[in-house]
Structure 1
């Protein structure tokens, strides 16, 4: 791994007062080290680059906190796959792991934002003494820290490449014989490691048949080993006459081996039974005499029965929801019992419930950032997710 190491060290002493003041400003940022590593500086377009960022406090005198993020850009996509933040007083250590996907060829700079927040033990104790009725903000002095960008030299993909990674393709055509205009289900699944294989379309429109398609179903998992994806394309085809479903070929490129390959859906012959037009003509010249037709009454009664049944079902469901809302969720009592934001954060993270992701983000921003909120409002937002 290539390594950028930015170390803040003490400068030389200066005799003049102006230089002494300048030196003290520099010293305020000279108490930690930052290490930025990448596993590849010359990737292909859409090839994953693993980015590791570490901050270690070296001066044990102050209490340090870090606010760091990779700045977004149209030139790349960012996925944070791991974070470990140890904010032990006087010994802060942050370890962050990101997956970066460059989106264009050429030189790309990955840029960062870092704010060092400095405080002391007395201010931390004062902050910790607050409760939900007496919220106290942690008093810090913030210093923006300039970090050098990580430059990637991104190589272009072979012309016509549609997928980047190591993938396989599976497809299922439900049947090869159908009546005229009968939809025939077709499912295509692409699975493997690499840039998520989400395409605008798999099979191109054709005048010989009608193609119906839905939004792809995606299952994407990011990890230190890369991105594993399973993308399913549900489709259906129909036609008035027999036709040939043409072969479809997808151009793929594996950046690990630097080799191109293809994924193919073979051609299929579809037999369609056309409509018998003679069956659509009424051959009876002398229909039976008119008589009273009670079918309308049966139809009306059927509609009334369906309406009454639907109304009754909706009323019963409303009563059941009303009864459900009157029951108190057991987690609400635990939320009310939390004495501080850290206890509330630990409780919500332990649930593993995606409904709390927004509240967890606000808790972290309130604890370690500048977006302070009262414990009472955060508890209320957490309980609202259980409604």
Structure 2
């Protein structure tokens, strides 16, 4: 049994080695980093060269760096020699490590294998009928690039070679008048983007906007010019303490500071007495009760109308309650036959003329006005 396991492992290892060998037969690759022991946020220029070795097939490549919280990256350049059987690709990346310690930069390389016939077929037809290129895709596992990242000096805010300038248009203002204040940081290094430059201490009012960023990356790092527009205001004179940013240049391994000196602002305070004068402007309002009489007039009119409607409703209800029930039955009759039945059921000789008219209309040739007959019958009650 042990011999069988040993043979199985041997076959598996042989298969993996054969697979790797096949990969290696198609192309070779080579990494090169300008440094493998950078400081945190020091630029690392990484190049990767891929050269096709198997000239019997057409090779295409797609290389990306895997995202990570340990670093940021940006592709600076890619140069390709697109000869179908002798592909050569040169990748250039800019990488910034974001923490100290050991960091592995990993890759995702997709190798696409196709043939001359497939390439020719994919480009046949007109511009609106391009056929898909058929490829055999394989994810190639590349070894990570290992970086041993050194920590920055304690308290470091900026990493690179920067200069700082500031601009304050005026140091005198009226109470609560904004005082424009601008700081500009420029140089080569990790982009100098900070949440705020103003200190938390101090009871003056702070106005800040998003920094204005102009930057571009190249094979030596990132050149940046960042402007911080701000403004200050207060009701009394105040002092802005010095703004001190600790920076570190990884090339020279020297720390330095960027400083805005202490700034004092003279504020013209508002004299409280001047806010209160001896003249009423506008004049004091005299008590005017005319609105009350108008309001009472509206209330009286409304009440009178409401009581009138209420009394009319009560009177109508009272009349309805005292009316003879036979009258309501007569009014509810819809035709001569119904009215005849009501009058006969009343068994009253006073309704005899009305009954005769109804019988003549129903059983003879007589014609009557139903409403008029109803009215005559009601008058007999």
Q: Does the pair score TM above 0.5?
A: yes
Q: Residue 29 of structure 1 contacts residue 145 of structure 1 at CA under 8 Å; is this kept in 2? A: no
Aligned residue pairs, count? 274
SS in 1 for 2:131: coil
SS in 1 for 2:25: coil
* Dislocated runs of 4+, deviation >6 Å: 18-22, 286-290
Task: Tell me, in whole angstroms, the C-alpha distance in 1 between the residues paired with 2:252 and 2:20.
Answer: 50
Q: Residue 84 of structure 1 contacts residue 96 of structure 1 at CA under 8 Å; is this kept in 2? A: yes
Counterpart for residue 202 of structure 1: 197
- CA offset at residue 231 of structure 1? 0.7
Counterpart for residue 72 of structure 1: 67
Structure with the higher fraction of residues in helix conformation: 2
Give deviations 1:70-125, integer Å, cap 9, x for gaps: 11110000011111122221111111101100000000001111121111101111
1:188 to 183, 187, 191: 183
1:120 paired to 2:83: no
- CA offset at residue 68 of structure 1? 0.8
1:149 paired to 2:122: no
Greater Cα shift, 281-290 or 209-218: 281-290
Q: Residue 106 of structure 2 contacts residue 145 of structure 2 at CA under 8 Å; is this kept in 1? A: yes
Q: Structure 1 pair 108/19, CA: closer, same or farther in 2 (3 Å)?
A: closer
Q: Structure 1 pair 234/121, CA: closer, same or farther in 2 (3 Å)?
A: same
Q: Structure 1 pair 32/252, CA: closer, same or farther in 2 (3 Å)?
A: same
1:140 paired to 2:135: yes
Give deviations 1:218-275, integer Å, cap 9, x for gaps: 1111001211001110000000000111111111000001111000000011100001
Instruction: Give 1 or 2 for the bigger CA radius of gyration.
Output: 2
Q: Structure 1 pair 229/184, CA: closer, same or farther in 2 (3 Å)?
A: same
2:94 to 94, 99, 108: 99
The TM-score, its normalising length taken from structure 2, stands at 0.68
- CA offset at residue 24 of structure 1? 7.3
2:168 to 156, 170, 173: 173
Task: Tell me, in whole angstroms, the C-alpha distance in 1 between the residues paired with 2:16 and 2:250.
Answer: 52
Counterpart for residue 51 of structure 2: 56
Greater Cα shift, 128-137 or 35-44: 128-137
- CA offset at residue 279 of structure 1? 2.6
Matches within 5 A, 1:290-309: none
Greater Cα shift, 61-70 or 274-283: 274-283
2:78 to 74, 78, 83: 83
Gaps of 5+ in 1: 1-15, 291-387
Q: Residue 45 of structure 2 contacts residue 220 of structure 2 at CA under 8 Å; is this kept in 1? A: no
The TM-score, its normalising length taken from structure 1, stands at 0.67
- CA offset at residue 133 of structure 1? 4.3
Task: Tell me, in whole angstroms, the C-alpha distance in 1 between the residues paired with 2:150 and 2:171.
Answer: 43
Q: Residue 205 of structure 1 contacts residue 211 of structure 1 at CA under 8 Å; is this kept in 2? A: no
Give deviations 1:19-57, integer Å, cap 9, x for gaps: 799847842551211111000010000000000011111
Task: Tell me, in whole angstroms, the C-alpha distance in 2 between the residues paired with 1:27 and 1:64.
Answer: 14
Q: Residue 29 of structure 1 contacts residue 116 of structure 1 at CA under 8 Å; is this kept in 2? A: no
